Structure 1
Amino acid sequence: MTRAVGISDLLSSLPGVVVVLFALVTQLGDFWLTFSLSALLYWLGAQTPRIGHGVTRERAAMVVALLAAAVAVTVSLKGLFGLPRPAGAGVAAHADSLPAAVRGLYVSMATGEGYGFPSGHATTAVLVWGGLAWSVRIGRHRQRVAVAAGLALLIGLSRLVLGVHFLVDVLAGFAAAGAVLWLALTRLRTPDRVFGLAAVVAAVGIGTSGLTQNAAAALGIGVGGAIIWRLLGGQSPAATPAGARLTAALGVAVVLTAAGATLAVRPAPLATGLAAAVGTALLLAMPLAGERLAKK
């Protein structure tokens, strides 16, 4: 099966400065940035600077759940199809033109590894930025949707410019994510159900492709999120100024500690899944601790 339609070859001739800029654009669909945005929106809630007006923690939790769904869909479909990336996806174009101090960072941003179908960045872009357009209350709905769609298209284009995906990979990511976003916002409607969907998709992926670290993490995130949101009764304390600050500070400290420990230990898949479940539960329960400390 071939997925090459000539687009990547055409875009590969772009000037080096354009390619480097698209390496920055592609970070808008990367897990680290979308996780940071969704987690901070949840921890800060209505106290989020500039965009917090009208944002409840339940609406923000839906964005976290949509990110969980993006991870599960991406991991499961990649494992199911097992299709490679374009030749040269592991080589960063124009890296030699950059200063040595930033070259390594650029290489990590501009290359891809593992299976290529569908594009995880395209999938994540639609679900997270689409979820943010639904969650926040700045401007008109059409304006927010237009911004989210524009960002998703730019992120998808960046994957082609960098040569780490075929056009079909990006379009498949858009299509899968669009279907999940519609299902989540019009039928499931609550964070625990969307987390549950993520868990089911991850479990199906494990059943068809086997247990890997990424698949175990996707399952853990879905299960942990679904359970803790049910235990919270579908609610989280409203964000006060002091409580939101404490919640975010505690959350960042816990996430950095957990990430550092995971990188140092490199646990087996089962341990990774358990850690992901506990980490997601802590993320969603963090406002309880932050608001309680603020009252004291």
Structure 2
Amino acid sequence: MRLEEQSAVVRDAIPAEYADLIVFVTELGGTTALMFLLAVLFWGVDRRRSALVISYAVAGLALLLSLKALFRLPRPPEDAMLIALEGEREGYGFPSGHAFAATVVYGGLVSAYDRLGDWRAVTAAGALIVAVSLSRVALGVHYLSDVLVGAALGVAFVAVMERLSRGDPTNGFAIALALSVPAIVVASGTEDALLGLGGSIGGVIGSRRLPALPALRSRLEGVALVVLGGTFVAVVQTVESAVAPIEPLLVTLYAVLVAGILLVPAAVGRLEIGVFESRRA
């Protein structure tokens, strides 16, 4: 039972005039927005904690793809969609990937940053998760049961990852790698499955270097990290379209993407040393 009638009530409550706002909200649970948030937090706030949640996100992606392929439940019919959205008809509908990912990332950040006792942090994360989940129902790409199960799975997944990883991002990425292998098989090599495999490999490689990374010394350095890191991600995304038809290259590119995000601080540190030495000379 996927709560079709209750889902229709949610859809009918949202006028088409608010479609752009709903799409914006739903993107807060999308891969691009979540990974950008985690990357910025990694570069400018706390590396170990943020890297840990990145490992949760990569591992969660692999697990979700396997679950979707296992259940094989379709999305709502096309006439239920609030507006036509490219790509939103693809794949299976249960459980909701956006609801799951939003819970893993926003909930994972609250947990990893030891803010479970802060009602403001918990409320903010909860509000984002609810908003993203309901936006998926309002857009007509999921039933209410899809997002409820997705969010519940996300909570359970964060709790399990927190225990298994023991606060070590390398352990988290190793779990992601173990989950990505069956995902590749059952999801038939979809782009998301390749992202899970490549991202977990890059995460294992990059996270092992975290203790050796130079500490963040100023806000200006944090800005430099975001600029350099953002440029790196943009370049990788540009290359992605060229190598997309070749699966091994795509896995390699995603490994480079995640490892690069984790190792940007090392590049900025070396750049700063080079500038300093040239001035002394």
Shorter-chain TM-score: which interval?
0.7 to 0.9
Query: Which residue number corresponds to residue 264 of structure 1?
Result: 242
Under a length normalisation based on structure 2, what TM-score does the superposition of the two structures give? 0.86
Query: Which residue number corresponds to residue 144 of structure 1?
Result: 121
* Offset from partner CA, 1:208-257 (integer Å, 9 cap, x none): 44333321221111121012212x15453221224322222221111101
* Offset from partner CA, 1:152-207 (integer Å, 9 cap, x none): 11111111111100122112211221122002223312111111221111112223
- Worse-matched range after superposition: 167-176 or 136-145: 136-145
- Worse-matched range after superposition: 112-121 or 235-244: 235-244
Q: How many residues align?
A: 271
Rounded Cα–Cα distance in structure 2 between residues aligned with 1:88 and 1:283 = 38
* Offset from partner CA, 1:264-288 (integer Å, 9 cap, x none): 3423222211111121111111111
Rounded Cα–Cα distance in structure 2 between residues aligned with 1:248 and 1:129 = 20
Structure-to-structure mapping, 1:79-228, within 5 angstroms? 79-88=69-78, 91-93=81-83, 107-108=85-86, 111-136=88-113, 141-188=118-165, 189-228=167-206
Q: Is the 8 A contact 2:101 2:154 kept in 1?
A: yes
Query: Which residue number corresponds to residue 8 of structure 1?
Result: 7
2:257 to 279, 283, 288: 279
Report the alpha carbon displacement of residue 61 of structure 1 after superposing the two structures with TM. Answer: 1.1
Question: 2:51 corresponds to which letter in structure 1?
Answer: A
* Offset from partner CA, 1:100-137 (integer Å, 9 cap, x none): xxxxxxx459x443221211100111011112223457
Question: 1:3 corresponds to which letter in structure 2?
Answer: R
Q: Is the 8 A contact 1:229 1:235 kept in 2?
A: no
User: Do the aligned partners of residues 249 and 233 (structure 1) sit closer, same or farther apart at CA in structure 2, a change above 3 Å counting?
Assistant: closer
State the identity %: 32
Rounded Cα–Cα distance in structure 1 between residues aligned with 2:260 and 2:235 = 13
Q: Is the 8 A contact 2:81 2:141 kept in 1?
A: no
Report the alpha carbon displacement of residue 260 of structure 1 after superposing the two structures with TM. Answer: 0.9
User: Do the aligned partners of residues 278 and 69 (structure 1) sit closer, same or farther apart at CA in structure 2, a change above 3 Å counting?
Assistant: same
Query: Which residue number corresponds to residue 75 of structure 1?
Result: 65
CA RMSD of aligned residues (A): 2.4
* Offset from partner CA, 1:30-51 (integer Å, 9 cap, x none): 1111111111111112xxxxxx
The runs of 5 or more residues in structure 2 that have no matched partner are: 277-281
Q: Is the 8 A contact 1:39 1:283 kept in 2?
A: yes
Q: Is the 8 A contact 1:68 1:221 kept in 2?
A: yes
Report the alpha carbon displacement of residue 92 of structure 1 after superposing the two structures with TM. Answer: 4.2
Rounded Cα–Cα distance in structure 2 between residues aligned with 1:209 and 1:23 = 26
User: Do the aligned partners of residues 132 and 249 (structure 1) sit closer, same or farther apart at CA in structure 2, a change above 3 Å counting?
Assistant: same
Q: Is the 8 A contact 2:11 2:138 kept in 1?
A: yes
Query: Which residue number corresponds to residue 35 of structure 2?
Result: 35
Secondary structure at the residue paired with 2:28?
helix
Q: Is the 8 A contact 1:58 1:235 kept in 2?
A: no
Under a length normalisation based on structure 1, what TM-score does the superposition of the two structures give? 0.82
* Offset from partner CA, 1:35-77 (integer Å, 9 cap, x none): 11111111112xxxxxxxxxx2111211222221232222222
Question: 1:196 corresponds to which letter in structure 2?
Answer: A
1:237 to 211, 214, 218: 214
Query: Which residue number corresponds to residue 52 of structure 1?
Result: none
User: Do the aligned partners of residues 219 and 265 (structure 1) sit closer, same or farther apart at CA in structure 2, a change above 3 Å counting?
Assistant: closer
Structure-to-structure mapping, 1:45-60, within 5 angstroms? 45=45, 56-60=46-50
Q: Is the 8 A contact 1:58 1:236 kept in 2?
A: no
- Worse-matched range after superposition: 186-195 or 82-91: 82-91
- Worse-matched range after superposition: 240-249 or 124-133: 240-249
Rounded Cα–Cα distance in structure 2 between residues aligned with 1:236 and 1:130 = 26
Question: 1:184 corresponds to which letter in structure 2?
Answer: M
